[in-house]
Every structure is written in C-alpha cells, then in structure tokens.
Amino acid sequence: MSSKSEVLRRLEQAKGESISGEDLAKSAGISRTAVWKIIQGLKEEGYAISAVTNKGYCLAPNTDRLSAEGIELYLPESMAGKIHVYKSVDSTNTVAKQMALEGAAHGTAVLAETQTAGKGRLGRRFFSPEQSGVYLSMVLRPKLTAQEALLITTAASVAVCRAIQIVTGQSPQIKWVNDVYLGDRKVCGILTEAVSNFENGEIESIVLGIGINFHWKEPLPNELQQKAGALFEGEVPLGITRNQLAAELIRQVEILTEQIPSRAFLQEYRERSLVLGKRIEIHNFHQEPYFAIAEGIHENGGLIVRLEDGSLQTIQSGEVSIRGIFCHE
Ligand code: BTN
C-alpha cells in the first residue's frame, strides 16, 4: 500500500476524530513532513481535512468521497487491491471490460465519481453526475452454464436491493427484469455485458454494471424528472456514505452470484417484484406492445404472463410497464 493510501485509510477509519501527524507518519513509514505533503494533496483533491495544533489531522465527519481505501474498510482483506476508483471515466463498464480482457480477477470492481458516457440498456445513456451516485462495474468469472449465466442480472437486482436495505433501511422493489425502484421512482439500473474471446467466440467473463442514484448534486434533466429518483431526496443522514454502499453492493454481488446454481435468491426476487399480480404492458421491440397479467417468475428468470386470451407465456427479454410507472420511453 502506498503512503498516501495508508494516510487516507487511517483518516477514513477515524473520520471525525483527530490523528496525530506522528501517528500517521509511523503507520505510513514516512516523515511528518511527508505526511503534511500528502494531506495538502488530499485537500487539493477536495477532502475536508482540518489540522488542529497538538491534536493532529481530522477528516470532516460528513465526508462522502469514493475511494478504494474508504470502500476496503468495509470489506474482507481478500478484496484488497481489487477495487479501482476513478475520478472520471467514459463508462465503468468499458474500463472493466478492458481490465477483463487483460486478465482481471473475478470480483475486480471499477467505480467512478462520474461517467461522461454512462451506458444504459438498449443503447441508452445513464445519467451519471459527479458525486451523486455509485457507478460500479464488476468483472465476474463465475463457473456457470450458459443458462445459469442468464440469471446474473436477476441475482444482481436482489443484491442491489439487499445492499440498499442494509445501508439505508429502505426497502426497494424490482421491476422486471432488473430496474430497482423506491416508490414509483427508478433508483438503480443494471447493465450486464459479456466479454468474449475473439479467437473462439467463448464468453470469458461478464461485466456487471450497476448505477445507483444516491443523492443528486445537480438538477436532473427534464426527461428524467418524472422517472428517476435517488436514495436520499433530502439530506443524507450522517454516517451513511457511498463507500459503505459500494462495499455492501460488492459483498452482496459476490454472495448472490454464488447462489445462482441453487436459485436460492429467486424467492426474494419474487417478494420484491413490483409487477407480480399486476396488469402490465409488454414491449418486446419485435411486435406491437400488448397487455397481460404478470403471474410469476420462471426458474430461468423469465416473466410468466397470462395473455388476454387466457394462455400463459414466459417472456425472456423486452421491457414491461405498469400503469403510471415506466421509466424508459
Ligand atoms: C439501465 O438502467 O438502462 C442500466 C444502467 C446501468 C448503469 C451502470 S452505471 C455503472 C455501469 N457503467 C455504465 O456505463 N453503465 C453501468
């Protein structure tokens, strides 16, 4: 770990409390002057650090900046070195895909404070303003059959709900297939991309991209105002941070991808479903939208619907809308 990482790790760990320059110097194995220089650098990056005579350095208690050091505090040591946080990238999925091609290990996580070209499903853009969300992409190399791999997004939506619930106490729901809602607002979208080997066409790894709106720091574009929401519309309670949420997300994704062969998460997916039992409109791009009643979630993640003629159908792709809730148009 670099000296800068060690200083930041100690400050994040003791957030709101002072640590002496001597103490920091000792744990980073550097001089007090070198600590001072690192602190100046962190302040230039935007960290609010106060220096109190005879007490030392203190990171402001309401600090909420994404960092690998801040995320790793909440994760087991085995994850050390697998978290990569950037200030700005075009898309964390694109960066993670490149890392996957270069051999990144299962569980490698890429995060950014902002994305200049965040990608949504079906070629759409994902609004990713600075310091407002958790934009995370994970490289997954699960040992799954092709059929099981289709359940990654289904499992990921349960992972997102659990992480949000554990960190914020709010109980999100899922609109098939993988949009996460609080009330009638979409607060998270998921985009899974396969990374295949050019030579043999086989899927080598999967990049799982998760975008959670945490707290808006800038006004939403008009077209999102009626559809998108954030975990916190007012003040973010002190002590809840994006680092904490990112760590919980990574932990839950790891847990739930392990459960794919047993389908153990499907019951929770059903319980969190926004569509089951409702009349929905199905848009599958190859035909005119049509109405049906959402009756169940198939073992392979498909949505079982009852058509107006009484017959049952399982849909695997497309989008559904419920009256009053449809976030993509
Ligand atoms: C959707 O709702 O259409 C899916 C949105 C997925 C957004 C996330 S943010 C992190 C990762 N990087 C991207 O460019 N997209 C995903």
Specify the residue with its C-alpha closest to ligand 1, atom 2.
189
Q: Which atom of ligand 1 is nearest to the CA of 124?
A: 3
Q: Which atom of ligand 1 is nearest to the CA of 112?
A: 10
pLDDT of residue 63: 95
The whole-angstrom separation of Cα 182 and Cα 233 is: 11
Give the neighbor-by-neighbor strand order of the sheet with 56-59: 18-19, 56-59, 49-52
Mutate which of 116, 119, 175 for ligand 1? The one with the most ligand atoms within 8 Å of its CB, which is 119
The whole-angstrom separation of Cα 127 and Cα 88 is: 13
The whole-angstrom separation of Cα 36 and Cα 51 is: 10
Give the helix/strand (H/E) hosting 327: none
pLDDT of residue 269: 98
Query: 55 pairs with which residues across the strands?
Result: none
Tokens of 258: 């392990």
Residue by residue, pLDDT tens for the chain (329 residues) are 899 999 999 999 999 999 999 999 999 999 999 999 999 999 999 999 999 888 999 999 999 999 999 999 999 999 889 999 999 999 999 999 999 999 999 999 999 999 999 999 989 999 999 999 999 999 999 888 888 999 999 999 999 999 999 999 999 999 999 999 999 999 999 999 998 877 777 788 999 999 999 999 988 889 898 899 999 998 999 999 999 999 999 999 999 999 999 999 999 999 999 999 999 999 987 789 999 999 999 999 999 999 999 999 999 988 899 875 544 43
Give the helix/strand (H/E) hosting 323: none
pLDDT of residue 325: 57
Contacting residues for 109 by C-beta, under 8 A, at least 6 apart: 71, 82, 83, 84, 136, 137, 138, 139, 246, 250
Tokens of 248: 């919980």
pLDDT of residue 327: 41
Phi and psi angles of residue 130, each rounded to the nearest 5 degrees, phi first: -50, 135
pLDDT of residue 136: 98
Distance between Cα 2 and ligand 1 center (Å): 31
Give the helix/strand (H/E) hosting 52: strand 49-52
Phi and psi angles of residue 199, each rounded to the nearest 5 degrees, phi first: -65, -50
Specify the residue with its C-alpha closest to ligand 1, atom 15.
119
Distance between Cα 8 and ligand 1 center (Å): 28
Torsion 25-30-36-38 (CA) sign: negative
Q: Which atom of ligand 1 is nearest to the CA of 327?
A: 2
Asked whether 243 and 146 are in contact (CB, 8 A), the reply is no
Tokens of 184: 């009638």
H helices of 184-295, in order, are 242-258, 266-271
- Residues lining ligand 1, CB < 6 A? 91-93, 115, 118-121, 124, 126, 135-137, 189-191, 209-211
Asked whether 71 and 80 are in contact (CB, 8 A), the reply is no
Phi and psi angles of residue 249, each rounded to the nearest 5 degrees, phi first: -60, -45
pLDDT of residue 328: 42
Nearest by Cα to 36 from 22, 15, 18, 55: 22
Q: Which atom of ligand 1 is nearest to the CA of 96?
A: 12
